[in-house]
Structure 1
Amino acid sequence: MVLERGISFVDATTSPRSEKPRVWISSGLAAPPYASTLSCHPRHALLYEDNAVVAREPWVLPSASELDTIVNGVSAAPGCCVAVLSLSSDLYDEFDAARSMAEMLSDWDEVNRYVSGQPLQRAIECATEHAESGSSQIWQMGIRVNPPGLPNVTVDNKTGRLVGLHCDNWFGAQMKARDGSPNRIAMNLGNGDRYFTYINLPLSRIWQLGNDATDLSVARLTGDLLVRFAERMPAYPVVRLRISPGEAYIAPTDNLIHDGSTQAGYEWDIYFTVVGRFGIPMQRPGQAVGETR
C-alpha cells in the first residue's frame, strides 16, 4: 500500500553515521500473537490486550519514494513531526552506574526499583535539567526499564498486558486539534538500540480512514479506532526508527499511533521520558536520513 504524506521525520543526530539502518517499514498491520515471548528473559513473556494491533513483519528498508514520504510530511511543526537527536555525552555518562548495575539484576521489578531509587537521583536530575532546558513547561516525567526482545513495550497498568500500537491521551484534545497538544521526548540511556514505531499519519487522518468519513467535528477517540483503521487499511505500513544509546526521539504522542520496541535487544532497555513542549531540531546539512532498498 502507498504511504500517505502525514507526520514528518527529522534525523538531527550528530554522531557519525552508523552502518545500521535508521528507518524500516512493516508489511502492514495485524493482530498480535497470543503473547510476546522473550528468549533471553522467558519469565517476562507478556500477554496482549484482546483488541491489540501490532506491526506485521517482516521489517524492510523503505524505497526511495517511501522514505521521501516519511521524511517530507505535511508539516514540520512539533505536533506533526517526529525527530531523532543526539544527547550530550555528559548526560549519557551520568547513567554509567545505572547501566552497570542493571546488568547485574535479573528481575524486572527489581531493576525498575533500582533506577528509580536514591543512588540515581543525581543522574535523573541531569536528565530532568536537559529536558527542562528544551521545553517551556513539563507535565510528566519518569525513568523506566524494559526487558530486551519485546516487539511492543507499553503495558496497561491495570491488566498487566501489552497494549500494542496506541495513541496517548494526556490532554484529551479534540481530534482536529490534536496537533496542538504537547509532545514527548524519550532518551535512550541503556546499552542497546531501542526502537520507536509509529503510523506516519496524524490521528485525525487515522479517524477519517478508519471511519470512511471526513467530518472531524463528530470525531471521537474510541478504544476501537485502530482496530477499525486496521480492518480498512491492513496493508498500511508502520514506520520503525532506530534510537541508539545516547540518542532520543521527540514525538507528538497524543497525535499519532505509536509504541516502543526492544526487539532484537539483549540488554535492559533504560529510558527517561518527559511530556512537554519540545521544539524540533534542525537536520544537519548533508545528513543522510536512511538507507533505501
Structure 2
Amino acid sequence: MIIQDGIKIYPHLDWESKIWLSEGTMVAKGTASNGIQYRDNAFKPLKPWRSANETEREILLGQEGEDEPDLNSVINIVKLPDHVIEELKEYKLQNINSKFKFKHYKALYGEKLDQSIIGLNTYLKTLLIEGQPVPPPSFAFNQPNLETVTVYLKFNALGGLHIDNFDGFDIGQTEHAGRRMCINLGAEVRHLLFINQPINTMIEWMKTKKTVVKEYSQWNLYNDFMRYFSEYPVVKIPIQPYEAYIAPTENMIHEGCTEGTTHYDVSLSYRGAFKNTCPKPVLNSHAY
C-alpha cells in the first residue's frame, strides 16, 4: 500500500538520514530476544525494511511552501547543544543496564546528575511553547536488539505498536494532549517506529471498512487499523546518540526499536507543550 500524506517530520538543520518503510504490519507472536513474550493482539512491522524513495520522502518530510500542520501532526528531530552533550557524556549513562543499577548510580552521582538535568531543563525551555512549564523527566532502559521495546508491566509482556494515553484523553480529544520528547542517551542509534496517520484520519479510514465505527478506545483503534490496513507501511527513523524526537505519541501509532544494537538503550523522556522546533523545512535533509 502506498504511503499517504499525514504526519510530517521536521528535523534539525544537520539531519541527513535514511527513512525506512516496512511492508506493513503483522501480529507479533512468541518470545523476543529478551525472553519476554508478546501480549495477545500485539503488532509489529512486517519486514523487510526498504529505503524510502524520493517521492515518499517528500510525503513524509515537511516541504517548503506547505502550510505548517497542527502540532499533533508534527514530529521534530532535535540535537542537544554541544555544551549539554559534553556534560552528559561525563556520566557514561550508557553503562546503566537496569533500574536497579540506576538507583545505585544515583546514590553515587545523584546530586551532580540532578544539576545536569537542571542544565538540560534550561535548554528545554527554548523548545516549549512560551510560558509552559518544564515537565518532569523519566528515564527508561531497554535491552539491545529488540524489534519493539515497550513492556506492559501489568502483563509482563511486550505490547508492540501502540498509541499512548498518559494524559487520559478520550479518542476524540487527543489534539489537546502534549507531545513526547525522547532523548537518546545511549551509545548506539535507536529508532522511532510510527504510522504517519493521526487518530482522526485513522477513524475516517475505518469508516470505509466497517458499516458501524464504534466508540473507539486507543487500543481498539490501533488494533482494528492494523488488521484492516495491514499493508500500510510503518516508518522507521534513526535517533542518534544525543538526538531526540518530539512526537505526538498520543495521536499516532508508534513504538521504539533497538534492533541491531549490542548496548543497553538509555533514554530520557518528557511530555509537555513542545512547539515545532523547526517550522521551516530543512531543504538539505536527504538520505546519506
- The TM-score by the shorter chain falls in which range? 0.7 to 0.9
Within the candidate set 172, 178, 189, 2:174 is matched to: 178
Q: Is the Cα–Cα contact under 8 Å of residues 169 and 177 in structure 2 kept in the other structure? A: yes
1:263 paired residue number: 259
Q: Is the Cα–Cα contact under 8 Å of residues 18 and 51 in structure 2 kept in the other structure? A: no
Q: Is the Cα–Cα contact under 8 Å of residues 21 and 236 in structure 2 kept in the other structure? A: yes
Within the candidate set 159, 165, 169, 2:165 is matched to: 169
Residue 113 to residue 33, structure 1, CA distance change in 2 (3 Å): farther
Within the candidate set 158, 183, 187, 2:183 is matched to: 187
SS at match of 1:65: helix
The structural deviation recorded for 1:94 is 2.2
SS at match of 1:231: helix
2:80 paired residue number: 87
Q: Is the Cα–Cα contact under 8 Å of residues 79 and 179 in structure 1 kept in the other structure? A: yes
2:71 paired residue number: 78
TM-score by length of 2: 0.86
1:11 paired residue number: 11
Residue 202 to residue 97, structure 1, CA distance change in 2 (3 Å): same
Alpha-carbon distance in 2 for matches of 1:270, 1:288? 29
> In the TM superposition, what whole-angstrom CA distance separates every residue of 1:156-194 from its partner, at most 9, and x where no partner exists?
121221111111112233434322321111111221101
How many aligned residue pairs are there?
279
TM-score by length of 1: 0.84
Residue 178 to residue 213, structure 1, CA distance change in 2 (3 Å): farther
Unaligned runs of 5+ in 2: none
Q: Does 1:50 align with 2:40?
A: yes
1:130 paired residue number: 123
Alpha-carbon distance in 2 for matches of 1:281, 1:56? 31
Unaligned runs of 5+ in 1: 38-43
What does 1:1-293 align with in structure 2 at a 5 Å threshold? 1-14=1-14, 17=16, 21-37=17-33, 44-72=34-62, 75-99=68-92, 102-103=94-95, 108-114=98-104, 117=107, 119=109, 120-135=113-128, 136-212=132-208, 219-282=215-278, 287-291=283-287
Alpha-carbon distance in 1 for matches of 2:107, 2:46? 38
Alpha-carbon distance in 2 for matches of 1:125, 1:143? 15
> In the TM superposition, what whole-angstrom CA distance separates every residue of 1:215-274 from its partner, at most 9, and x where no partner exists?
999643242322211221111000011000121111011111111111111212121100
Q: CA RMSD in A?
A: 2.8
